[in-house]
Structures are given as C-alpha cells and as structure tokens.
Amino acid sequence: MKIASTRYGKLLTLLLITLSTLLSTSHAQQSISDVRIFNTVKTKLAEGKQVVGGTVSTPDPDIYCAMANSGYDYIWIEMQHSHLGYTDVARMIWACKDAPAIPFIRVPDATEGDIQKAVDIGALGIIVPMVDTAEKMQRAVRFAKYPPVGRRSQGGGQYGALWGRDYRAAANDNIMVIAMIETEEGTAAADEIAAVDGVDLVFVASSDLSSFSGRRQGDPVYEDLVSRIKNETAKAGKYIGGPSAWMRSREGYQFFQGPGTSSLIRTGVRVTLGEDDPCRFLPSGTAPVQGEDPCP
C-alpha cells in the first residue's frame, strides 16, 4: 500500500511539472505572437519584397519630410559622413513622425553612446559601417537591444511618443541591425558576421569595396568578393543589401540605398528643364492633361 502511494505521488508530481511546462511554453509563444510590429521595412522584407531608402545628410526638417513622404520605404540618415548631430536628427524624425518612411541611421561607429542615442531618438534601423569582425556586430546588437537580448538601458528619448506605449516590449522585435562590409578583411569574415544573432541584414558597400580592394565592378576579383558576401549571408538566412543601382542588375538583393538629396535635386532639375517635361510651360496648378495631377 505504501509503495502504491509513493508511485502515485511521483506520478502526480510528474504530471504537475509537465502541465506547468506546457502552460509556460504556451504563454511564452502567445507573448511572442502578440508583439506589435511597426517597422514596415521588416514586414516588407519578410514578405519577400524589395525596399529602398533615400539618403539624407542635411539637418533641414523640411528636406527630411519631403524625402520621408515621397514614397521611399525608409530614410537612410547619414551620420557617418556628415555633420549631423543627434539633436538635428531627433528634430528631423519628430517633424515627420507620421511619415510612411521608417528612420534608419548609419551611426559613426558601433559604440554604446552612438547606438543608444540613435535608438532613443526613434531609429528602427541601425546601420553599422566598416564591419570587419563578428565581434563588432555582437557589440552593436548588445547596445541596440533591451535585456535579456542586449544591454540597452532605459533612458529618456522620444521613442515612446513615436512608436507607442508598448515600445519597451516591442523594441527588440522591431529594431533592425545592419552590418556594412566594405573591406577585404570584412569579406573574409562574412560568414561569421552574418551568423551573429541579432544581425538582420548584411549590406555590400559597393564603392568602398572597390576603393579598399583596388578593383572595379566587373573585375573577377571584385565580383568574387561580392559573391562571397552574398553567399555567406544567404547561408546564414539573413537579408542582403546594396546600392539602388543593383535593383535590376543583381538577383537576391532586397534592401537598397537610394540617392542623396543633392543627386535627386540635380536629377529633378534636368527633368524639369527637359523638352519632354509636360509642365515646363504651364502655370502651377494647371494639369497638362485633363484628369492628371496638376503641375507643382
């Protein structure tokens, strides 16, 4: 009788432990599925779509807003090669907080200060330049993500006002971390870089890869470098990015950096001064053809 009672007790304990585990797993899965995704770039990439962003390196909020509302999927805010400060960028993002283009920032480097400030002002994409090692991207992920994934601290910032009261719970699932490979050293370590947990995408920095390698596009050595980055990224199950000029010429790329504001202004001037511009000799507000949009 005592033996039967002991066996019954052990069986009951085992059943209770199993039930508790199942309930915990179910709750965890439900919590993950309930996370709100507001980074539309991440959603589009997951759907297999291509995304392209315009590049902004000027602090003028009006220019930023024009770009963010022009049809781009995201805005590449250039802080590595510009005089932009975080106060400038915070004002730019806030000026068009409802714009459809998602703010991504290319930070000067993968430092805790740079990345913390970038996410605090509302960036949903952190683009890390000059990545030669996996360790650099491990640091970037650690600084961009809240615990338990990373060590981002809770400070002040406009992120909550931009993205909602559930930002703290949803941030890790919405913030994307991107590695830019620009050198032969980075290319050699592409497999390790792409494999870092938390890295969403690897970007082939085409111009710098040419500069550092001394080879031009089309050169077999250059193309081998590009192929290695792309192939190792694909093996890791991550997205691959490059310049917008590659949208039609190379397969497998989904994330593209578009032209900067100066280039777009030059292009716009050439178009409006061209003989084929239907608005060239019409007053503002007049439609060239009935039913078409009026001239600006």
List, as one string, the DSSP characters of 257-290. EEEEHHHHHHHHHHHHHSTT-TTTTS-TT--SST
Statement: residue 178 has pLDDT above 90: yes
- Three-state DSSP class for 82? coil
Which pLDDT belongs to residue 9? Answer: 57
Query: Which burial class, exposed, middle or buried, applies to 153 when counting CB atoms under 10 A from its CB (0-12, 13-18, 19+)?
Result: exposed
> What pTM was computed for the model?
0.83
Band (pLDDT 50/70/90 cuts) for residue 8 is low
> Could you tell me the two tokens for 150?
């990373």
Q: What fold is seen in the domain 40-273?
A: TIM Barrel (3.20.20)
Out of 22-36, 41-55, 244-258, least confident range: 22-36
Highest mean pLDDT among 31-45, 228-242, 282-296: 228-242
Which pLDDT belongs to residue 7? Answer: 57
For residues 63 and 70, the answer to whether their CB atoms sit within 8 Å is: no
Run of H or E including 253: none
pLDDT in tens, 75-134: 999 999 999 999 999 999 999 999 999 999 999 999 999 999 999 999 999 999 999 999
Q: Do you find a cis peptide bond into 148, omega within 30 degrees of 0?
A: yes
Statement: residue 61 has pLDDT above 50: yes
CA separation, residue 237 to residues 192, 196, 219, 233 (Å)? 13, 11, 27, 6
| Arithmetic mean of pLDDT over the chain | 89
Which pLDDT belongs to residue 78? Answer: 97
